[in-house]
Amino acid sequence: MRYQLPYARAGQVIGLLGGSFDPAHDGHAHITREALKRFGLDQVWWLVSPGNPLKEKGPADLQRRMEMARRMIDHPRVKISDFEARIGTRFTAETIAALQQQRPDVNFVWLMGADNLVQFDQWQDWRDIVARVPIGVLARPRQRISARASKTARVFRAARLPAQASHLLGHCPAPCWCFVNVPMVAVSSTMIRERGDWG
């Protein structure tokens, strides 16, 4: 069965930024613009998750988070997608497998902030994810050192692409990951929820 995916030409490199986006904020928009530049991506798709499997409390309503995400970024090369809800998964390994099956002509790259690299080895089939797609990691306040010392970074030390070669990430055969030290924006959805403006 085919689900509606954002438009992509064959051979393009598409970065996937999975997230709860509860709500979307400037930090997401900032790392997306940095990822487009630093990793030489043609597009970035925000995959608005039905809910992070490792977070106990479920997020706000999906449609509400999709609307907020659309308001947060208006960029011709950034698309907002509810693909995971459509295929009925919240597991990244399944999402990537489904996308690769539907679009074998596209080079997908998984994107994440440094905080997610720290606990990446708790994700379902995390080694399968590393084997399937190159991974671009973007610096996040207070997380740079722990990310680089994480289990994933240690296990896949030999597969690390130096930051000077980051623009090659999309064409680097997996396993391949790259950490880029971009200027940082110290905002999080938790901070916004705690301010009580959302949820």
Residues near ligand NCN (CB under 6 A) are 18-20, 47, 49, 52-55, 90-93, 116, 123-124
Distances (CA, A) of 198 to 26, 85, 156, 186: 15, 21, 38, 18
Q: Give the whole-angstrom CA distance, residue 153 versus residue 64.
A: 35
> Contact between 50 and ligand ATP (CB under 6 A)?
no
Q: Which of ligand NCN, ligand ATP, none does residue 27 bind to, with CB < 5 to 8 Å depending on kind?
A: ligand ATP
Cβ proximity to ligand NCN: between 27 and 170 the closer is: 27
Picked from ligand ATP, ligand NCN, none, the partner binding residue 124 (CB below 5 to 8 A depending on kind) is ligand NCN
Euclidean distance between CA atoms 84 and 75, whole angstroms: 22
Q: Which of 22, 35, 130, 176 binds ligand ATP (CB under 6 A)?
A: 22
* Contact indicator for 83, 48 with CB cutoff of 8 Å: no
Q: Does 112 bind ligand ATP (CB under 6 A)?
A: yes
Strands (E) located in the chain: 13-19, 43-48, 78-81, 107-113, 135-138, 177-180
Residues of this chain that interact with ligand ATP (CB under 6 A) are 17, 19-22, 27-28, 31, 112-113, 115-116, 138, 140, 185, 187-190
